[in-house]
Structure 1
Amino acid sequence: MLIKLFTLYVYLQTALCGCGPDKRNSNFERLRKDYTVTIDKVGKLDKGIQESSGLARATDSTFWTHADSGAPDLYLFNLKGDLLHTQPLPVPNNTDWEDLAQDKAEHLYIGAFGNNGNQRRDLKVYKVNGENMQLTDTIAFSFADQEEFPPPRSRQHYDLEAFFYQNDSLYLFTKSRAFKSITQLYKLPVSGTDKAIVPAEKLRVKSPVTAADIAPDSDMFVLLGYGRLYLFQPSGSTISFNGKRYCLPLGRTGQAEAILFLSPQQLLITNEKGKLYQVTIMPKKSGAR
């Protein structure tokens, strides 16, 4: 019954959602006001890829993804969705892997931090060498502001499915289970020993956050939710919710779980049923970005 209710919730979020609540609660603007947007289905993942929960680039035309449980494997595919290679990783298991990030040295960061019940204590990120696929580090961390496991439903803001890499740190965006959904931004250094992280900012959002990525030129980042895409243009060089922020209804993209910038103007999205969508965002006028 719970699965059926959750499926209905996701369907209503994706099919009927708009950005009115996000505009009222957090001053989001409509993305189509300043941008021309197209959303196209471009392929479907091979059945050998059970569920796509994260995305990273392998080459200009191929990509890595992973499931959120089961074998500790990465799957290599192209934009048509063809499965090109299955890469086992030297880690014990896949326990709620939720997102992929990548640095400029081509290390992959695997977010083993899904926390549906807000009671997980073994949050970690695996750092993998992108050339030989060997494990180079395991970054364990905790939320310094979480004192109860689990907290009451009204404070269940510690599920986690979204992050990206920027300037020697990982930026994490939580997924709220509370009725009034928020996302909290945390900064996790990839080196050092202080891994009890504190929230830098929080923002009320209508849709729970399921994935994140930063643009190639680092001037914007996106958060993905059920039926919504949130785009942020920070006012300075710091990753922040400050500055311009936009909301885009995605329509019938389903339970979308992964997002990746293909270029400064194009994004790739996958959903749990393996469908691939390409979102193209072009400024309507000079200076909109």
Structure 2
Amino acid sequence: MIRTGLLLLLSMMSACAQKPWYGDFNYLGKLPAKLNEVSGIATNNGKIIWAIEDNGNKDHIYGLNLQGTLVKEFEIENGKNHDWEDLANDNSGNLYIGDFGNNANDRKNLSILKIPNPDKAKGKKIKAEKISFHYPEQTKFPPKKSKLHFDCEAFFHHEDHLFLITKDRSRPYQGKAFIYKIPAKEGNYEAELIGTFKSCEDTQFCSITGAAISPDGKKVVLLGSGFIWLFSDFGSENFTKGNLRTIDVLHRTQQESICFKDNKTILIADEQSKTKGRNLYSYTLD
């Protein structure tokens, strides 16, 4: 009886000692405890990863190293965090903060904040320019449940424009994303609809929570909670017309942030959810 109990105890200890399972991700590090709702990441040099949090958190941008350790922090002036949902960067190192989270589809103050390269910033604050926009297809705030298509958690910068990919909240769920573009400069714009994309119909995994474009502009990735949609060989601004590869990363957490470290390597961060998440990962594209 004692021997049986000892064997059971040793078995339990062995199971607890096993490494956590991250699917096909390469685990890089744990994010700081105060960053448990990271909603967007971007990097200019592959060394400092800039991160933001979403609604209810500070108007701050955080610089992390590749192990997830906090190394810099700035307050964003004149840029309140109504619901920051993604980060993007351009070839000059400017960052764009997507203040376009719109869960209830009732916001009329959607905007993107443009800040100069934070890698070179000094002090504790960075001033932002505001790019305001609206969706011309939305006429009611909120629309009826079958037309809740105007939330957004994903975008990227390409050729002087910002490309927004909406998050479907319609009921019944359709798994449909709308792709819009607006100029990447201060002003107030009507977003231009350039395409649509249907990921899948599982509400848990199919909604688009992040997006990024490779430094060479040849690949676009969209993120879901456990899936990556990779587009390549697109000949127009509507990247969904290119070749599509759907990647199951075999790891199910609340993944909301993605960026390219280089043309073949992407970085992903997930939010804290109970005992899972708040990690930084990498994934290598074949």
TM-score, normalised relative to structure 1 = 0.81
Residue type of the alignment partner of 1:94: N
Residue type of the alignment partner of 2:165: F
Q: Residue 154 of structure 2 contacts residue 210 of structure 2 at CA under 8 Å; is this kept in 1?
A: yes
Q: Residue 48 of structure 1 contacts residue 83 of structure 1 at CA under 8 Å; is this kept in 2?
A: no
Q: Aligned-pair distance for 1:234?
A: 3.9
Per the alignment, residue 110 of structure 2 pairs with 123
Residue type of the alignment partner of 2:285: I
Per the alignment, residue 21 of structure 1 pairs with none
Separation in structure 1 between the aligned mates of residue 209 and residue 94 of structure 2, nearest angstrom: 22
1:279 pairs, out of 279, 283, 286, with 283
Q: How does 1:245-264 map to 2 (within 5 A)?
A: 245-264=244-263
Q: CA RMSD in A?
A: 1.7
2:176 pairs, out of 182, 188, 206, with 182
Separation in structure 2 between the aligned mates of residue 234 and residue 144 of structure 1, nearest angstrom: 29
Separation in structure 2 between the aligned mates of residue 136 and residue 265 of structure 1, nearest angstrom: 31
Per the alignment, residue 161 of structure 1 pairs with 153
1:63 pairs, out of 49, 53, 58, with 49
Post-superposition Cα deviations, 1:170-194, rounded to whole Å, max 9, x if no partner, equal 0000000121120100011123756
Partner SS state of residue 84, structure 1: strand
Q: Aligned-pair distance for 1:246?
A: 1.0
Q: Residue 78 of structure 2 contacts residue 128 of structure 2 at CA under 8 Å; is this kept in 1?
A: no
Q: Aligned-pair distance for 1:68?
A: 0.5
Q: Residue 74 of structure 2 contacts residue 126 of structure 2 at CA under 8 Å; is this kept in 1?
A: no
Separation in structure 1 between the aligned mates of residue 98 and residue 253 of structure 2, nearest angstrom: 22
Runs of 4+ in structure 1 off by over 6 angstroms are: none
Distance 1:58 1:88, change over 3 A: farther
Residue type of the alignment partner of 2:110: L
Residue type of the alignment partner of 2:212: D
Separation in structure 2 between the aligned mates of residue 243 and residue 104 of structure 1, nearest angstrom: 23
Partner SS state of residue 278, structure 1: strand
Residue type of the alignment partner of 2:53: A
Per the alignment, residue 208 of structure 1 pairs with 207
Q: Residue 253 of structure 1 contacts residue 271 of structure 1 at CA under 8 Å; is this kept in 2?
A: no
Separation in structure 2 between the aligned mates of residue 85 and residue 198 of structure 1, nearest angstrom: 36
Separation in structure 2 between the aligned mates of residue 54 and residue 192 of structure 1, nearest angstrom: 21
Per the alignment, residue 114 of structure 1 pairs with 101
Q: Unpaired runs of 5+ in structure 2?
A: 1-22, 201-205, 273-277
TM-score, normalised relative to structure 2 = 0.81
Moved more, 165-174 or 44-53: 44-53
Q: Residue 234 of structure 1 contacts residue 241 of structure 1 at CA under 8 Å; is this kept in 2?
A: no
Per the alignment, residue 18 of structure 2 pairs with none
Q: Residue 38 of structure 1 contacts residue 280 of structure 1 at CA under 8 Å; is this kept in 2?
A: no
Moved more, 219-228 or 41-50: 41-50
Distance 1:85 1:147, change over 3 A: same
Give 1 or 2 for the bigger CA radius of gyration: 2
- Percentage identity across paired residues of the two chains: 33
Q: Residue 38 of structure 1 contacts residue 281 of structure 1 at CA under 8 Å; is this kept in 2?
A: no
Q: Unpaired runs of 5+ in structure 1?
A: 1-36, 283-289
Per the alignment, residue 102 of structure 1 pairs with 89
Which protein, 1 or 2, shows the higher relative CO under an 8 Å CA cutoff with sep ≥ 6?
1
Partner SS state of residue 146, structure 2: helix
Per the alignment, residue 229 of structure 1 pairs with 228
Partner SS state of residue 42, structure 1: strand
Distance 1:146 1:234, change over 3 A: farther
The aligned length equals: 246
